[in-house]
Amino acid sequence: MSAQQSASTAVQQSDPLALEKTIASSLKAAFPTAVKTANVVRRRRMRIECTPEATLDVLKYSKNQLGFDHLNYITAVDWGKAFDLIYNLWSIQKMVELEVKTKVAHGEKDELVDFPTSTGVYQAADWFEREVYDLFGIRFVGHPDMRRILLREDWTSHPLRKLYDRRGYPIDPKLGQPPPQTWRINEGKLSLPKKWLEEDPEIEENILTLNFGPHHPSTHGPMMVRARLDGEIIIDADVVIGYLHRNHEKLGENNTWIQLLPYPDRTNYVSPINWEWAYVMAVEELAGVEVPERAEYIRVIMAELDRIQSHLMYLATAGDAVGQLTGFVWGLRDRELVLDLNEMVCGARMLPNYFRFGGVNRDLPKGFAERTRQVVDTVEKHLEEFSYIYEKNPVFLKRFEGVGVLSPQDAVEWGAVGPGLRASGIPFDVRKDDPYSVYDRFDFDVPVGKHGDNLDRFMMRVEEIKQSISIVRQALKDLPSGPYQGKAPTLSIPEGEASSRVETPRGEGSYYVVSNGSPRPVRMKIKSAAFINVYVAKRMMIGQKLQDALVILGTWDPVLGEIDR
Amino acid sequence: MSYLDELRGVVTIIKWGQKNSLWPLAFGIACCAIEMMQTGASKTDAERLGMLMQRASPRQADVMIVAGTVTKKMAPVVRRLYEQMLEPKFVVSMGACATSGGPFRDLYDVVDGVDDVIPVDVYVPGCPPRPEALVYGLMKIQELIDAYYEENQNKPVSGKLEAPSVKPSLSG
C-alpha cells in the first residue's frame, strides 16, 4: 500500500492530474458510445455520464479493471422529468473517486421506475438501493430484498420526488398520494425479508425469531434487530432502521443554504463539528470560497476535539455493552471536559453551530489554548486509567478478543468505512488519502489493526484519541494570527454540483449538493458512514451468538441520527 | 372497595417513595438522549435526587422521558410503551422536537410534538436542553406526584385511582 502510495505521488508530482486523466480516458476508450462525458473535476475526483443500459457494464469494468473496489453511496436527484442516478465509487488502492451518473426517465405521476440492480457487482449496494427505492421510487429489478428501509411500510408515496412538498403531500393532488396520517399501535407493521418468506413458511421447531428494539438500551438508539435463532446462534438477521428518519434531505431542498447550517449538528449529534465541516466544505467548493489560514487551524482544532469526545463516548458505550458501568461513567466524565471547551468557544455545549461558509462564527476566546492543553493532558492521563478496566482486564478481553472477526476482503466488499475498516488492516483515512484543509501539515499516524476483531475496533478508537491529541497540540503551537472569517456568499450559491469528504469519527462522511443558482439547494445528499457500517454489522452478526451480536453492533458505534438522517 | 381504603395510611409512604426515587424510562431517541445520558453520569448525577437513570423496561418505570424527535414510524412504539407503564405514570417531553417538532416541524415523516401521541405532563425546552434543565423538569414531576396523590386521597372512599385521560381528538 505504502509503496503504491509513494509511486502514485511520484506520478502526480510531474502532472498532478495524470492518474485521473488516464482513468477517464480508459473509460472513454472502453465504452466509446455508452460513456457520454468523462471529466476530471479536481484532484482525486472524476465524473462520467453514461447511458442507462450501459451503467452496469461501466460499474463492472470500473470495479474489475480499474480497481474501484469501494462503493461510497448510491443516490438520485429528481429533475422533474428524469432522475439523475448517481453511483459514487472509491478506489482504495489508487485513492481516487469516481462518480457514475446516468439519466432515468420517469412519468409525471408517482409511479415506480424499473432499473437493474447493481448488487451483483457491489454487495454494499444492498441498503443504498433500498434507500433510493424508498425515497425516490426507483425499483431495482433483481435486488434480493426490495423493501422500504427508512419509512413505514404503509407509505405509498416517495417523498423526495419533486412533486411532493416538505410535509409529504403532493403539490398537485392528482399526481401522488398523501402520507399516512395516523399512528395507532398496530400501524406500520413490518414485513419479513423476502428470503425468509420464500423459505418454508412453517418455521422449524428449533428456529426462533427474536425481536429486540426499537426501544433497547444496547442498540444505541431506536433501531430494531430481528434475529432468527438456532439455540443461541443467529442464523439470519434483519436490521430495521428508519425510526429516526428526520427528513434532512427534504429539509435541505426547502431551506436556504445559510438556514441549513444548524442541521448537520443534528445529523450526527455525537460528532457535530465534523459534520458541520462536511456541509460547509461542500458549499465552499461550490461557491469557490477561500478560507483564511487561521480559520483552517481553528477548524482542525475543533474537529479533533470533536473526534476525541466522540471516541470517549464510544469508550463509554463499549463499557455499557458488556456491563462495565465504570467505563460508562468515566467516559462521560472526560467527555464533559471537551464539551466545556465547546461552550467556551461558541456558547453551546453539545450542538455548537460554529462553522460558517468561509470561516468560523467567532475567534477563539482568551485562555482557550491553555485550557485546551490542560484538557488534552487530562484525557491522555485518563486513557492510562481506562486501559486497566478495558484492554488489560481479562473479563473484558473475553468478550472482545477474537470475537467478531471481519476479513479485509469482506470489509471492502460490504463497504465498511472508518475505524472498523482500519481495524481490518486497510489504512483508509480521508485525512491522509485525500487531505482536506491543512491536514497535510500535521504529523500523525493512521492506526491499523491486525485481526479485525472487536478488540481491534475498540483499540482503533483509543489510538485515534492519542493521534487527535497530538494534532491538537501541533495546531495550537502553529496557530497563525489573522482573520477567522473570509468573504463568502450567504444567499445565492452559483449553479453546479459539489461534494465534500470528511473523515468523521465513524468514517468517511460526505455531502453531495446540487445548486441551480437559487437560494435553495436542488438536492442535498448526506453520505452517512454509520449507515453502511450498520449494514456491515448486520452481515457480521450472522453465525455469532446472540450476546456477541450486540457487542459487535456496538463496536461500529452506530448513531441513529446519522443512519436514518 | 378500592385498595386505597385499606392502604390509606400507607399512601403517604408510597407517595414519599415514588416521589423520591423516580425511575425514568430511558427512552433515548435522538440528540436529547445524549444529554439524558450526561444527566445520569458523573457531572450532573441525577441519582443524588433518587432519579435512578436507565430503566430499560416500561414496567419498572414511573416517568417516561421522551428524548428526541418522534417520527411516524416511531409513534406507534411510543404509544405502546406508554401503555405498558404502570399507573400512576408521568411523561416528560424533552427538547424542542418532542415538544413541537422543533427544527424538524412540518416534515413528511415527523410528528409535530409527542403530545399528539401520548399526554405530556412537563415540557423541557431547549435544543437539546442542558442536563440541569432536565433535572429541573424531573423536579417538576415530583411536584406533580405530590398533587396527584393529594387529589386522590381527598376523593370519596369508593374512588379509585384514575389514569390520566388521553385527549379525545388524538389520532391514536
Chain A residue with Cα closest to B171 = A182
Domain boundary among A89, A106, A141: A141
Interface size between A and B, measured as CB pairs under 8 A? 138
A404 touches chain B (CB under 8 A): no
* CB within 8 Å: B76 and A242: no
User: How does the average pLDDT of chain A come out, rounded?
Assistant: 88
Share of chain A above pLDDT 90, in %: 51
pLDDT at B169: 41
pLDDT at A295: 94
pLDDT at B165: 47
Question: Which of A51-55, A188-192, A394-398, A496-500 comes out lowest in average pLDDT?
Answer: A188-192
Give the B-side interface with A, CB within 8 Å. Answer: 26-31, 33-35, 37-38, 41-43, 54, 56, 68-69, 71-77, 79-81, 83, 103-104, 106-111, 117, 127-128, 130, 171-172
A313 touches chain B (CB under 8 A): yes
State whether ipTM is beyond 0.90: no
C-alpha cell belonging to residue A5 = 502510495
Task: Cell 418454508: give the residue.
Answer: A200
Please tell me whether residues A131 and A252 are part of one structural domain: no
Q: Are B69 and B97 in contact (CB under 8 A)?
A: yes
Q: Are A119 and A142 in contact (CB under 8 A)?
A: yes
* CATH at A503: 1.10.645.10
In a domain, A18, yes or no: yes
Residue pLDDT, tens place only, A82-141: 999 999 999 988 889 999 999 999 988 888 999 999 999 999 999 999 999 999 999 999
Chain A residue with Cα closest to B54 = A217
Confidence of residue A480 (pLDDT cuts 50, 70, 90): very high
* CB within 8 Å: B30 and A215: no
Domain boundary among A85, A114, A141: A141
* B109 contact residues in A (CB cutoff 8 A): 150-151, 159, 168, 179, 245-247
Chain B residue with Cα closest to A251 = B107
Mutate to test the interface with A, among B59, B73, B78 (most CBs of A within 10 A): B73
Chain A residue with Cα closest to B41 = A329
Q: Which candidate, A438, A416, A506, places its Cα nearest to that of A299?
A: A438
Given a cut of 70, is residue A399 above it in pLDDT? yes
A368 touches chain B (CB under 8 A): no
Chain B residue with Cα closest to A349 = B130
Tell me which residue in B54, B74, B109 faces A247 most closely, judged by beta carbons: B109
Chain A residue with Cα closest to B108 = A167
Confidence of residue A196 (pLDDT cuts 50, 70, 90): confident
Please tell me whether residues A443 and A560 are part of one structural domain: yes
Chain B residue with Cα closest to A217 = B56
Question: Which of A61-70, A230-239, B148-157 comes out lowest in average pLDDT?
Answer: B148-157
pLDDT at B172: 39
Environment class of A394 (CB within 10 Å of its CB; exposed 0-12, middle 13-18, buried 19+)? exposed
Q: Which of residues 155-214 of A touch B (CB under 8 A)?
A: 159, 164, 166-168, 179-188, 214
How large is the average pLDDT for residues A275-297? 92
pLDDT at B7: 62
Domain that holds residue A34: 2-141
In a domain, A193, yes or no: no
pLDDT at B12: 76
Please tell me whether residues A125 and A264 are part of one structural domain: no
| Number of helices and strands in chain B (H, E) | 6, 4
* B35 contact residues in A (CB cutoff 8 A): 350
A266 touches chain B (CB under 8 A): yes
pLDDT at A294: 93
How large is the average pLDDT for residues A308-316? 92
Chain A residue with Cα closest to B82 = A185
- Write phi, then psi, for A482 (nearest 5 degrees): 135, -170
Residue pLDDT, tens place only, A490-532: 778 889 999 899 999 999 999 999 999 888 999 999 999 999 9
pLDDT at B159: 44
pLDDT at B171: 42
In a domain, A352, yes or no: yes
Residue A554 amino acid letter? G
* B110 contact residues in A (CB cutoff 8 A): 246-247
Q: Are A434 and A8 in contact (CB under 8 A)?
A: no
Number of structural domains, chain A? 2
Domain boundary among A113, A141, A169: A141
Q: Tell how strand A224-230 and strand A207-212 pair up.
A: antiparallel
In a domain, A149, yes or no: no
Q: Which of residues 322-341 of A touch B (CB under 8 A)?
A: 328-330, 332-333, 335-336
Please tell me whether residues A264 and A413 are part of one structural domain: yes
User: How does the average pLDDT of chain B come out, rounded?
Assistant: 81
In a domain, A484, yes or no: yes
Report all structural domains of chain B as residue ranges with CATH numbers, in order of start.
32-153 (3.40.50.12280)
Where helices occur in A33-138 by DSSP H, the ranges are 55-64, 125-136
* B33 contact residues in A (CB cutoff 8 A): 221
What span, in angstroms and rounded, lies between the C-alpha atoms of A552 and A453? 9
Alpha carbon of B115: minimum distance to chain A alpha carbons (Å) = 12
Given a cut of 70, is residue A287 above it in pLDDT? yes
In a domain, A358, yes or no: yes
- DSSP structure class, residue B18: H
Alpha carbon of B168: minimum distance to chain A alpha carbons (Å) = 14
Chain B residue with Cα closest to A242 = B73
Residues of chain B with pLDDT under 70: 1-9, 52-53, 152-172
How large is the average pLDDT for residues A41-52? 89
In a domain, A111, yes or no: yes
Distances (CA, A) of A3 to A439, A447, A504: 21, 17, 26
* CB within 8 Å: A152 and B27: no
* CB within 8 Å: B42 and A332: yes
Please tell me whether residues A265 and A135 are part of one structural domain: no
Where helices occur in A15-121 by DSSP H, the ranges are 18-30, 55-64
Q: Which candidate, A178, A110, A166, places its Cα nearest to that of A138?
A: A110
Mutate to test the interface with B, among A218, A246, A248 (most CBs of B within 10 A): A246
What span, in angstroms and rounded, lies between the C-alpha atoms of A11 and A18? 7
* CATH at A6: 3.30.460.80
* B57 contact residues in A (CB cutoff 8 A): none
pLDDT at A77: 92
In a domain, A219, yes or no: no
Q: Which residues contact A98 (CB under 8 A, 6 or more apart)?
A: A23, A46, A47, A48, A62, A66, A68, A88, A89, A90, A91
Environment class of A197 (CB within 10 Å of its CB; exposed 0-12, middle 13-18, buried 19+)? exposed
